[in-house]
Homo-oligomer: A and B are copies of this chain.
Amino acid sequence: MAVRNKQVILKNYVTGGLPKESDMEVTEISIQLKVPEGIKDAILLKNLYLSCDPSMIDSMRKFETSYVPSFEPGSPLSGYGVAKVLDSTHPDYKKGDFIWGITGWEEYSLIKAPNQFFKIQHMDVPLTYYIGLLGMPGMTAYAGFYEVCSPKKGDYVYVSAASGAVGQLVGQFAKLLGCYVVGSAGSEEKVELLKNKFGFDAAFNYKEEPDLNAVLKRYFPEGIDIYFENVGGKMLDAVLLNMRIHGRIAACGMISQYNLDHPEGVHNLMHVVLKRVRIEGFVVTDFYHLYPQFLEMVIPQIKEGKITYVEDTAEGLEAAPAALIGLFTGRNVGKQLIVVSHDW
């Protein structure tokens, strides 16, 4: 018996700046809730929660280079999600398993040759955490901070986009290690979260600061040891002026630059030489082998209330296009996710 399968479709490749809601379309097809006869090593998923990630914009563009695969116009978007296995012809997955990994922006997905799905073992935390705190963003914060930033107790740490899916965790990890941590975000509400919920030592609203160099000097009179880079552009330029000798910059993303046809110029790279700074780009997929070790560290901390996580939830696939685009205007407070179904 076929059921409705609502989908969020990419209508056309995004050109120029940011995607618009009208670049996507919510449509319906029908689907059988079984892996079709004769297809081996496939799983049929009921998608429960979907993640809105800034990097998805790269896949909405037609890239000539090969390091980011593009979505197919006319097909559903794809991204990280939490799902329940309804049917499986794959030996590693069975009906009833809960998993997280890259799935379709639709109610049900048939995944042939499933790859890099993680089975969810700990069900005593919110399942949405597996696209946030316990999923790709959590691993990004963990790998970026502990593996790329070479942090040590007492370091002066600055996090931009600090209330976002990754930033809120980087700040909490840094506090747990005994660092001094300052975050920036784009509204008073987010700044309050940073200070009162996530325990940052200080936080500021970058939109209220005409002189980023001055605000960084105010919060970091001794300079910055570690910058967890989520935004790029003018912020990076101001940070470079304030780095300490042997400072480290983990370049996780540059969200301020996605909406520009021509990215802003960064003028102060000479400070990389003068202060022997290391800037290192990284992607989380290089670090997934550390996932078990990450869970072992973080799950007890969640249960003890030492780590907290704020999510911004959009209800239903109809709300998905606006939620995704809201990432780039800073509309979301905390990790942006979409509930496809509350029913599992």
CA distance A262 to B265 in the complex (A): 12
Q: Which size class do A's interface residues fall under?
A: 35 or more
Chain B residues near A280: list those with CB within 8 A: 272, 276-279
- Known contacts A67-B245, A245-B67; A272/B266 CB under 8 A: no
Q: Are B286 and A281 in contact (CB under 8 A)?
A: no
By beta carbon, the residue of chain B nearest A277 is: B281
Interface SS of A by simple majority: loop
Q: Are A254 and B270 in contact (CB under 8 A)?
A: yes
- Among A264, A265, A269, the most chain B Cβ lie within 10 Å of the Cβ of A269
Q: Are A270 and B265 in contact (CB under 8 A)?
A: no
CA distance A173 to B263 in the complex (A): 36
- Shortest CB–CB separation between residue A5 and chain B, in angstroms? 33
- Shortest CB–CB separation between residue A106 and chain B, in angstroms? 27
CB of A306 closer than 8 Å to a CB of B: no
Return the contact of A267 from the options B262, B271, B272, B274 (Cβ within 8 A): B262
11 examples of A-B residue contacts, CB within 8 angstroms: A232-B270, A257-B270, A264-B265, A266-B267, A266-B269, A274-B281, A276-B280, A276-B281, A277-B281, A279-B279, A279-B280
